Amino acid sequence: MGKSSVDTTTAARRLEALRLLLQAQQLDGIIVDDSDAHGSEIPASAFARRTFLSSFSGSNGLALVTREAALLWTDGRYFAQAEQQLPEGLWQLMKSDFGNTPTLSQFLKQNPQIRRLGIDGFSTSLGLLNQIRDAGFSLARGDCTTQQETQGGAGRQVVPLDRNLVDEVWGPQKPSYPNSTVYVHPEEYRGLSTREKVARTLEAMAKEGVDILLLSSLDEVAWLTNLRGSDPPNSPLFYSYALLVRGPLETSRGTQKGNAWPWRLLLYTDPSRVSTEAKAELEKEGAILRPYEEVSSDLQLLLNWEARSHHQREQKKEDGRQQQDLQQQRPAGLVAAVDSLLSGGDSHLQEPSPKLTRQEAVETQQAAWLDPKINVAIHRIVAESRRLIVKDTPVAVAKACKGERELKGMVEAHEEDGVALATFFCWFEKQLLANARAAATQQQEPLPGEGECILTEFTLKEAVDAAREATCSLFRGTSFTSISCFGSNCALAHYRPDPKTSLQLKASLSEPGDGLCVTVRGPGGGVLAQEETPVFLLDSGGQYLMGTTDVTRTLHLGQPTEEQKEAYTLVLKGMIGLSAQKFPEGSRGPQIDALARQHLWNKGLDYLHGTGHGVGHFLNVHEGPIGISPRLTGVASLHEVRPGAVLSIEPGFYKDGAFGIRIENLAAVKPSDLIYRGRRFLQFESLTLVPIQARLIEASLLSPQEVAWLDAYHGDVYSRISSRLAAKEKKAPFCPPLPKAVSVTSEEVLAWLRRNTKPLEQLLQQEFP
């Protein structure tokens, strides 16, 4: 999170080059972000255009470059980072939801001289386009807005560009597009087959009167096809689209008819990177592989056929043909059109034909289903002649609720993760003691690297990542960039450690005896102007073939204050309260969110993020559409919390400039044994298996029921993690790839686990470490 290495002169040249391109395109401004064509939370580096242009590397940010100005919008998590990284004098920071800062839409309204605004149609979401439309803009070509809306724009146009102008400025230094191998997710770890998933999806499409479904979210494509890759960071996904065309549902529920399936599933990705095994799997499941770049032209060809088919049917109606026969011909014909396209006999599809009007599309009930994150370019193609349904797809909804085999895999993944975290924390504790003793044996304070392993926010991130890789052969990478922070940095909910600016831990032996004293130092071990609290917050997760994990623990490495203990215990009470709560079927995220906040609220405290997000099964660590959030208008408010969902429960408290606390477990939703008037109640089952540090707990604030829950949880952690440790083959001691690092054996890890999972009464009497 350090200062950008790009000098001001270079940054100025990049802006100047972009403005020359704006002038050549007769544009007054351009929108620049780091988005890809699929609305991915963390796109590949090839799409980091805003970062390249502005030097700001935060995960949330939107840039507007005009002929005279360059502005960047970001939220409060990144104000300090943006102020540090934006080239001075070239960029203006727009602090979202802060003071009188206008939104993008408001700024555009306030600056009527911006009349032609450029966008990349493939990286701009429909949601962002709507923000621009709110400022009085209409699409320059092929717009599907009403005439009244266009007139209201007073000639202001948003222009989807044929090429990305920032890419032209970037030139040959731009990272190449990812092209990882696409492989089969092994059958023993996944749930239903692709055919079974398609059958259920077709039923949902039929209920909505939809015969075309386009999946653009990468995790939805991967889930439906049971394939995985490694294109974006931290997620086993690959850049792709999937197009599902439905035949007449009354013929079959997705089962084979004769020698063909009454549906067509097209997967759009680079065929050359699909493994032989994956190609065979696709063929077996009835899916067809197409080049990634063909999705737009294929859609246009199919819709071209649709329009011609409609007009032919209208002509036949005039000739007296029965409407019932015509309806039976239409869906079969759409599948036939796909077959004609695939066989190369698509010349008739390319013949010019009149496009359907919006009214005609509505009258014929022709509908296409698109993801809300669909990009503008694809949306424009479909919206010109189809009735659209733009909402969470049936694949997104089904994927969120794991089946029996998927839940079994998530349980196994968390047991492996528990071994990795126990190994890491055992090593961390031993390393602190080793550093302290190394310092005590020297006449003067040791220099970095002489006798001690340098423990910084960044090196501890590296160590926990190494622990996951070392302890499980099915580990396939981290599920996000680990958040490792000390002291006041813990108050930054989305802090990312930087090797150059990371704070450092200094350990020494206190007098009398050999007690451990830990202090927080500045980068390089220097003394800080302001003393930092020795709090360590670690938020990390792993991707395993059998599941995805995400866990946060907060440790105090000294003597906590009463304020810190109270805050930690209130957060813990919230985590326990929601974890143990039963709630009726039909409940939604905002209804149960307050259960995690109630104890903080009673003290006038709160946290500004959601309580929980969905987690994928060897997919994205942040998965929709189910979540636990106080926002009454967000996605989480639209979907019930249903059995099979895996959600995080992560309340927190953050005191700016001082310390931060977060405790996070993942939990699966399952039916309880309670029923009231025929309505089943649900409950959570904790998946995360990592001890919760007792040093920060103020026991007097816990009820007997909460103590009992914590003791039972720790008993479960010890039982399951010790069993998995014992079942593992004898491995070499763990030692992270850090200079002067100590190693720990499995016997030491087991002893650490035993010490840290005792009943709370005993934990509070123990000395640290």
Say which amino acid occupies 363: E
pLDDT value for 330: 44
Is the peptide bond prior to 160 cis by the omega test (within 30 degrees of 0)?
no
**Contacts by 255-259, CB closer than 8 A, 24 or more apart:** 255/199, 256/286
Mean pLDDT of 492-521: 86
How far, in Å, are 534, 663, 761 from residue 699 at the CA level?
A: 21, 17, 9
Mean pLDDT of 693-713: 98
Q: What is the mean pLDDT of the chain?
A: 89
The CA dihedral of 260, 262, 268, 273, to the nearest 10 degrees, is -30
pLDDT value for 159: 96
Every domain of the chain and the residues it spans: 8-173, 183-400, 404-763
What is the distance between the alpha carbons of residues 145 and 452, in angstroms, rounded to a whole number? 66
pLDDT value for 390: 93
Q: Could you name the CATH architecture of 183-400?
A: 3-Layer(aba) Sandwich (3.40)
Which residues 6+ apart lie within 8 Å of 31 measured at CB?
62, 63, 64, 117, 118, 119, 120, 124, 128, 132
CA 165 to chain centroid, in Å, comes to: 27
Residue 133 or 349, more confident? 133
pLDDT value for 440: 83
| DSSP per residue, 622-667 | SEEEEEE-S-TTSGGGGSB--TTBEEEE--EEEETTTEEEE-BEEE
Centre a 10 Å sphere on the Cβ of residue 720 and count the other Cβ atoms it contains. Answer: 16
Under 8 Å between Cβ of 562 and 588: no
- pLDDT digits over 565-581, tens only? 999 999 999 999 999 99
Kind plus residue range of the DSSP H or E element containing 194: helix 194-207
- Proportion of the chain above pLDDT 70, given as a percent: 87
pLDDT value for 608: 87
- Proportion of the chain above pLDDT 90, given as a percent: 74
Nearest to 715 by CA among 689, 752, 748: 689
Which residues 6+ apart lie within 8 Å of 477 measured at CB?
230, 234, 236, 542, 543
Q: Which CATH number fits domain 404-763: 3.90.230.10, 3.40.50.720, 3.30.420.40, 3.30.450.20?
A: 3.90.230.10
The answer on pLDDT for 152 being more than 50 is: no
Q: What is the 3-state secondary structure (H, E, C) of 112-149?
A: CCCCEEEEECCCCEHHHHHHHHHCCCEECCCCCCCHHH
What is the distance between the alpha carbons of residues 34 and 58, in angstroms, rounded to a whole number? 10
Say which amino acid occupies 707: V
Mean pLDDT of 515-542: 92
Residue 27 or 144, more confident? 27
Query: Which class for 172: exposed (0-12), middle (13-18), buried (19 or more C-beta within 10 A)?
Result: exposed
**DSSP 8-state secondary structure symbol assigned to residue 100:** T
pLDDT value for 697: 98
Say which amino acid occupies 192: L
Under 8 Å between Cβ of 705 and 711: no
Q: Computed over its alpha carbons, how large is the radius of gyration of the chain?
A: 28
Beta bridge partners of 486: 536
pLDDT value for 518: 93
pLDDT value for 428: 98
| Range name among 327-331, 588-592, 720-724, 743-747 with the lowest pLDDT average | 327-331
The answer on pLDDT for 1 being more than 80 is: no
Q: Do domains 8-173 and 183-400 have the same CATH topology?
A: yes
- Band (261; pLDDT cuts 50, 70, 90): confident
The answer on pLDDT for 148 being more than 50 is: no
Q: Do the strands 515-521 and 504-510 form a parallel or antiparallel pair, or are they unpaired?
A: antiparallel
Mean pLDDT of 669-680: 96
| Range name among 117-131, 446-460, 665-679 with the lowest pLDDT average | 446-460
The answer on pLDDT for 364 being more than 80 is: no
- Band (145; pLDDT cuts 50, 70, 90): very low
What is the distance between the alpha carbons of residues 470 and 472, in angstroms, rounded to a whole number? 6
- Band (7; pLDDT cuts 50, 70, 90): confident
- Band (143; pLDDT cuts 50, 70, 90): very low
pLDDT value for 347: 54
Size (the chain), residues = 769
The answer on pLDDT for 256 being more than 60 is: no
The answer on pLDDT for 414 being more than 60 is: yes
Enter the tokens of residue 696.
Answer: 């920060």
Under 8 Å between Cβ of 760 and 697: yes
The answer on pLDDT for 708 being more than 60 is: yes
- pLDDT digits over 54-75, tens only? 999 888 899 999 999 999 999 8
pLDDT value for 526: 87
Mean pLDDT of 146-163: 68
Enter the tokens of residue 275.
Answer: 């493994």
Under 8 Å between Cβ of 665 and 649: yes
Domain 8-173 has CATH 3.40.50.150: no
Q: Between vectors from CA 418 to CA 42 and to CA 754, what angle results, nearest 5°? A: 150
Centre a 10 Å sphere on the Cβ of residue 298 and count the other Cβ atoms it contains. Answer: 21
pLDDT value for 153: 44
Q: Between vectors from CA 234 to CA 499 and to CA 630, what angle results, nearest 5°? A: 95
Listed in order, strand segments (DSSP E) in 570-622 are 583-584, 612-614
The answer on pLDDT for 271 being more than 50 is: yes
The answer on pLDDT for 412 being more than 80 is: yes
What is the distance between the alpha carbons of residues 197 and 194, in angstroms, rounded to a whole number? 5
Predicted structure pTM score:
0.90
Residue 516 or 714, more confident? 714
- pLDDT digits over 208-254, tens only? 999 999 999 999 999 999 999 999 999 999 999 999 999 764 444 44
pLDDT value for 259: 44
Kind plus residue range of the DSSP H or E element containing 157: strand 157-161
pLDDT value for 516: 87
Mean pLDDT of 27-41: 96
